Amino acid sequence: MIQEAILHLPYGAYAYALSSHEARVMLRAKRGDLKKVHLVHADRYRLEDDLEMLEVGYSGSDDLYDYFQTTIHSKTRRVAYRFLLDDGVRRLWYGEKGFAEHGDAAGYFQLAYLATGDLFEIPDWVDEAIVYQIFPDRFCNGNEKNDPDGVRPWGEKPKWDTFFGGDLEGIIEKLPYLQELGVNLIYMTPIFKSPSTHKYDTSDYLTIDPMFGDLATLKRLVSEAHKRGMRVMLDAVFNHCGSQFPYFQDVVEKGEKSRYKDWFHLHSFPVDTEKVNYETFATKVASMPKLRTENPEVREYLLHVAEYWIQEVGIDGWRLDVSNEIDHAFWREFRRVVRKANSQALIIGEVWHDSTPWLLGDQWDGVMNYLFRDAVVEFFAKRTLDAERFDNRLTNTRMRYKEQANRAMFNLLGSHDTHRFLTLCEERVERMRLAVMFQMTYVGIPEVYYGDEVGMLGENDPDCRRCMIWEEAKQNRELFDLHRKLIALRKKHKALQTGTYRTVRADALYNVYGYVRENAEESVYVVLNNGLITAEVTLPAGVTGVDLLTGETYAGTFSLPSMEGVVLLLNGGTV
Amino acid sequence: MIQEAILHLPYGAYAYALSSHEARVMLRAKRGDLKKVHLVHADRYRLEDDLEMLEVGYSGSDDLYDYFQTTIHSKTRRVAYRFLLDDGVRRLWYGEKGFAEHGDAAGYFQLAYLATGDLFEIPDWVDEAIVYQIFPDRFCNGNEKNDPDGVRPWGEKPKWDTFFGGDLEGIIEKLPYLQELGVNLIYMTPIFKSPSTHKYDTSDYLTIDPMFGDLATLKRLVSEAHKRGMRVMLDAVFNHCGSQFPYFQDVVEKGEKSRYKDWFHLHSFPVDTEKVNYETFATKVASMPKLRTENPEVREYLLHVAEYWIQEVGIDGWRLDVSNEIDHAFWREFRRVVRKANSQALIIGEVWHDSTPWLLGDQWDGVMNYLFRDAVVEFFAKRTLDAERFDNRLTNTRMRYKEQANRAMFNLLGSHDTHRFLTLCEERVERMRLAVMFQMTYVGIPEVYYGDEVGMLGENDPDCRRCMIWEEAKQNRELFDLHRKLIALRKKHKALQTGTYRTVRADALYNVYGYVRENAEESVYVVLNNGLITAEVTLPAGVTGVDLLTGETYAGTFSLPSMEGVVLLLNGGTV
């Protein structure tokens, strides 16, 4: 037994409450090292009574580790527990005091009390959500009267500073399109007043940019969306404002005498937007001064903004820009304010890296899942990962987070900050088809970046922000139909939303990836042949599968051609 | 290289801010596996520029792992970093993406932004503190007029429910004694109104129990203590109240109609103190109903209590009873309220196990360090650990926490909830002598449990709560003098307070434990011979050491008899 490779922590994603009487516990060990893991637990004040035993089931592997998980049910909400590890040769107890041949010498890990005040609660509707990300200037121009000067013709190649006239009325106009596609959550990049086309440099957090509409238009959008069973999220750019933000202008004008000087991180006076003697987003981006969120005034102001748009317009959540550069203390208050205003509001951060410290239950629900995207891009689009390593990467990402966070992830193939996925596929639609089949059947909220569903192309920003293609003749309608079908399947089959995820096949040789999503009612077996040759897939005797995409029934052994996939609803057992 | 055993996390005690521009980073590896660890870091938006390289120094070992630490200085406060690991044969990069032969393939760990809003700030005075724990009923009876009925003669063997008449005036009377001893922080177990002798079953959080005194007496105690350069901490029993607490009585009387029914965790009505149909401290302790701290009314009430005693009396901190069974959300608010009332207030939790989730900087400063005590008891008192394993246990405990928390730990040898240390030593004072030498020169705040300094004995509660021995003839004055001298040394030598801790010798064969505390100005080398035979200690050529306890000077090789120790201020170099 490789003791040094065994890890359990009595906190974080390794031990946490699922409810007031249930705790999820996880342990990791060197891949292949342990054959069986058990756990004993009791009330922490009554270690001699009511001791219960559980098997800690294998739940996946990454490059280096196997992960084991179980759920403890505690009547008293105070849990002491330790593991019995079995590598097939030797059994060792493992507890807070380390490894030992006798249980008591290992001690007990402690979940002192499953306090509901710390419960990680995500909105009830998260599991059903499919999100559609819109860059408003580029989606649809529903009202030419509000176009800014110098609008360029729809479909022209965008530059950094091009305006195309897209607006909120355009989005309202296209709600039937979104409804046909099946998405039910709209996330718009920023819509507040700002001089830029992307609007990540806010001038006024309480006003809709006139080129997009006004308060009434947004209210109409939200109410029309709600009527259609869709929700709407806005983008909170709280790390920095725009340099036109009046309080920053005040500081530029009045220097040290400005009453807003503590709203920013100023290095010296006078404030100089040429030399950029203040902290900004990234490095010396003069137009984006960083806000000092530790200042109670700033905090109060931004929290008011967060609350205002929920109370005034009824939005269903916030996506948080550059949110890992703001203090955790701010986000904890943010969660309290937002959830008080709307207990069902979703909170999604932007982090491109490990997001653990923000996803413990006290700050955000999920993040733009770029670790997911990295793996999907490498496996399906660039084909630099094989199926085994792909599975390892997915597992590694999933095991970083609590179950609640995994369910609330925005699983994106691309965004306004990346290459378009089909471009990364070298425009080979069959690669994207498999990726979408995967995305729509994986754990977490599928996120469609506007236009991806009709095969739009684009290099990195600004090229990935081209105008939406509305001419059906120029759309890839097959890809659209695939999205539509898969979204419908995900909405219909609870197993695809919340079913256990279990890898069945992660085949480096054939590059075939197969996994099951299952609950007590149904098992869905997805098999994706991302390899270059036809592979054989075998269902156990007595088990049949109906491909939910084609209606075709499979049994026994069948061939799955290169770059094809099936989504099989199993009958008569599981794989 | 045993990759599976290598751990770094870009959060918690593995990566955290020491200030707005400094971050501590730690890595652990299988013991003996790595020869050298380096780190490269840069601004996370400018990975190509200003890349800096640091050696990550070895900082200790436990049974299984070596730990390496360094401090990153960042101009821009946004840090990306990765490690280069060298096991003497092979070098591998290690970053967020795992291990790789090429740096870029390993990716970068990220400390996105060193936000001051998340800084772990402990009181400025922590490093100088030496705490003295008092159980008020048993320390000194300064006023017989406030004695409760049935007080027993001072010095009689205590039972659970014995009253001896100790009070706040008694403590005031003994301030000169405490000053002579040298302690400068008094922590009293609860003093608020309650029917019991221990007063962990509060009836009224806003009134001093009349048998101890009143508001004026406490004010006098605090002001007299402050005059003598001592601080005073109280015990916050917020997990549960006493069954005489009026709001609980209201629930007992009025059942479901009580407006306080949501203050408790009630299982059914009527509330029955015989059947105990409600959550309590531990298991069915009828007299201690658990408070529902998730209820905003309860929170507000308890936070008012926390604030009141700071504002009204000027106390210097709170010790928090059973504090791991209250939600983190409560403690975060508690910290805000307490620090707003007194920015220099110390917050110490009670946890007998790993305390990581509470010691990240947003809740408490430190805990009653029972993991420290366990190791000290096993090494010095029970002699079931050898010096090597003792060092491993200390390192393991220290590496769990951020530096700030380690500095704020209450390093106790015993408390009102344990056997007395000298009793665990089988009354062999020479064992306790070494333990006290260790305690007073280790990282964190030494905590003296009243009477331990004069050799008091006692089995576990209630026997460990005997009346303080005031007759000098019955006191162990040598032990008192040792405490007095060591406390004076600790106060005089900054290196003993905040100097780096470095193990020099952890010798399983001789059972000799030696370590250095050092800073830029001075090195103090402590060597404790906890073995049964005389050991030789060698100072490097040119280095001499003056024993701060005896004044004797050592050089070259000298003999250290069994159960003797030295505290050497080094001259001419270090060991």
Query: 3-state SS of A396-453?
Result: HHHHCCCHHHHHCCEEECCCCCCCCHHHHCCCCHHHHHHHHHHHHHCCCEEEEECCHH
Mapped onto helix, strand or coil, the DSSP state of residue A105 is helix
Mapped onto helix, strand or coil, the DSSP state of residue A334 is helix
Q: Do B332 and A328 touch (CB under 8 A)?
A: no
Asked if residues A175 and A222 have their Cβ atoms less than 8 Å apart, the reply is no
> Mind listing the pLDDT tens digit for each residue in A182-238?
999 999 999 999 999 999 999 999 999 999 999 999 999 999 999 999 999 999 999
Catalytic residue among B66, B167, B321, B452: B321
Q: What is the DSSP string of B76-92?
A: SS-EEEEEEEE-SS-EE
Q: Do A4 and B30 touch (CB under 8 A)?
A: yes
Q: How far apart are CA A53 and CA A72, in angstroms?
A: 9
Q: Is the pLDDT of residue A27 over 90?
A: yes
Give me A203's structure tokens: 């001038």
Q: How far apart are CA B447 and CA A500, in angstroms?
A: 50
Helix residue spans in B408-470 (DSSP H): 421-424, 429-441
Share of chain B above pLDDT 90, in %: 99
Among chain A residues, CA nearest to B362: A329
Q: List strands edge to edge, sheet with B185-188.
A: B366-367, B346-349, B317-320, B231-236, B185-188, B131-134, B445-449, B410-412
Mean per-residue pLDDT, A318-333: 98
Q: Give the closest residue to A37 by CA, choosing from A62, A63, A59.
A: A59
Q: What is the pLDDT of residue B49?
A: 81
- Give the pairing type, strands A346-349 and A317-320: parallel
**Distance from B30 to chain A by nearest Cα, in Å?**
6
Asked if residues B316 and B344 have their Cβ atoms less than 8 Å apart, the reply is yes
Give chain A positions within 8 Å (CB) of B118: 327-329
Residue B344: Cβ within 10 Å count? 14
Q: Do B45 and A282 touch (CB under 8 A)?
A: yes
Q: How far apart are CA A30 and CA A67, in angstroms?
A: 9
Question: Could you tell me the maximum CA-CA distance found in chain B, to the nearest angstrom?
Answer: 81
Residue A436: Cβ within 10 Å count? 26
Q: How far apart are CA B20 and CA B76, in angstroms?
A: 10
Question: Is the N-terminal amide bond of B270 cis, ω within 30° of 0?
Answer: yes
Catalytically active residues of A, by annotation: 321, 350
DSSP state at residue B326: S
Q: Give the closest residue to B389 by CA, choosing from B59, B68, B62, B31.
A: B62
Q: How far apart are CA A544 and CA A538, in angstroms?
A: 10
> Mind listing the pLDDT tens digit for each residue in B153-193?
999 999 999 999 999 999 999 999 999 999 999 999 999 99
At residue B367, what are phi and psi to the nearest 5 degrees?
A: -135, 165
Mean per-residue pLDDT, A528-550: 97
Q: How far apart are CA B170 and CA B272, in angstroms?
A: 39
> Between A45, A117, A324, which is nearest B282 by CB?
A45
Q: Is the pLDDT of residue B317 over 90?
A: yes
DSSP E strands: which ranges in A74-144? 79-86, 91-95, 98-100, 109-111, 131-134
Q: Give the closest residue to B137 by CA, choosing from B170, B102, B185.
A: B170
Polymer length of chain A:
575
For helices B477-492 and B429-441, angle between their N-to-C axes, nearest 10 degrees? 10
DSSP state at residue B226: H
At residue A287, what are phi and psi to the nearest 5 degrees?
A: -75, -5
* Residue that is written with structure tokens 């001093």 in the block: B208
Catalytic residue status for B350: yes
Select from A1, A4, A74, A118 the residue whose CB has the most chain B CBs within 10 Å, as the one to mutate to test that interface.
Answer: A4
Catalytic residue among B235, B316, B333, B350: B350
Task: Return the sign of the alpha-carbon dihedral for residues B433, B435, B441, B447.
Answer: negative
Strand partners of residue A566: A527
Q: Do B43 and A283 touch (CB under 8 A)?
A: yes
Select from B339, B353, B359, B402 the residue whose CB has the most chain A CBs within 10 Å, as the one to mutate to test that interface.
Answer: B353
pLDDT-derived band at B136 (thresholds 50, 70, 90) equals very high
CA angle B335, B339, B343 (to 5 degrees): 150
Encode A407-419: b = buried (16+ Cβ within 10 Å), e = exposed: bbbbbbbbbbbbb
pLDDT-derived band at A48 (thresholds 50, 70, 90) equals confident
Considering only CA atoms, give the Rg of chain A: 25
Helix residue spans in A272-385 (DSSP H): 296-313, 328-341, 370-376
Residues 6+ apart with CB under 8 A from A363: A328, A331, A332, A334, A335, A347, A349
The reported pTM is 0.97
Q: Is the pLDDT of residue B50 over 90?
A: no
Give me A141's structure tokens: 């121009």
Q: Do A112 and B3 touch (CB under 8 A)?
A: no
Burial class of residue B224 in the structure, from the number of CB atoms within 10 Å of its CB (0-12 exposed, 13-18 middle, 19+ buried): middle
Asked if residues A365 and A404 have their Cβ atoms less than 8 Å apart, the reply is yes
Helix residue spans in B377-514 (DSSP H): 387-399, 403-407, 421-424, 429-441, 477-492, 494-498
Give chain A positions within 8 Å (CB) of B10: 353-354
pLDDT-derived band at B491 (thresholds 50, 70, 90) equals very high
Question: Is the N-terminal amide bond of B246 cis, ω within 30° of 0?
Answer: no
Encode A544-560: b = buried (16+ Cβ within 10 Å), e = exposed: ebbbbbeeeebeeeeeb
> Mind listing the pLDDT tens digit for each residue in B407-445?
999 999 999 999 999 999 999 999 999 999 999 999 999
Give chain A positions within 8 Å (CB) of B98: 63-64
- Type of residue at B16: Y
Q: Give the closest residue to B455 by CA, choosing from B437, B438, B473.
A: B473
Polymer length of chain B:
575
Q: Is the pLDDT of residue A519 over 90?
A: yes
In Å, how far from its chain's centre is CA B112?
Answer: 30
Give me A167's structure tokens: 């607006």
Strand partners of residue A67: A28, A60
Give me B277's structure tokens: 């149909």
**Distance from B64 to chain A by nearest Cα, in Å?**
6
Q: What is the pLDDT of residue B273?
A: 96
Q: What is the pLDDT of residue A44?
A: 95
Asked if residues B92 and B99 have their Cβ atoms less than 8 Å apart, the reply is yes
- Type of residue at B311: Q
- Give the pairing type, strands B65-73 and B22-30: antiparallel
At residue A106, what are phi and psi to the nearest 5 degrees?
A: -80, -20
Q: Do A356 and B9 touch (CB under 8 A)?
A: yes
Mean per-residue pLDDT, B549-558: 98
> Between B98, B283, B362, which is nearest A45 by CB?
B283
Q: Do B64 and A98 touch (CB under 8 A)?
A: yes
pLDDT-derived band at A49 (thresholds 50, 70, 90) equals confident
Q: What is the pLDDT of residue A345?
A: 98
Write down the mean pLDDT value for chain B: 97
Which tops the pLDDT comparison, B37 or B49?
Answer: B37
Q: Return the HEC string of B431-444.
A: HHHHHHHHHHHCCC
Q: What is the pLDDT of residue B48?
A: 83
Q: What is the pLDDT of residue A56?
A: 98
pLDDT-derived band at B20 (thresholds 50, 70, 90) equals very high
Q: How far apart are CA B504 and CA B575, in angstroms?
A: 7
Q: What is the pLDDT of residue B465?
A: 98
Give me B81's structure tokens: 């970093």
Catalytic residue status for B321: yes
Asked if residues B147 and B140 have their Cβ atoms less than 8 Å apart, the reply is no
> Between B98, B354, B362, which is nearest A329 by CB?
B362
What proportions of chain A, in percent to the nearest 5, are helix, strand and coil?
A: 30, 25, 45
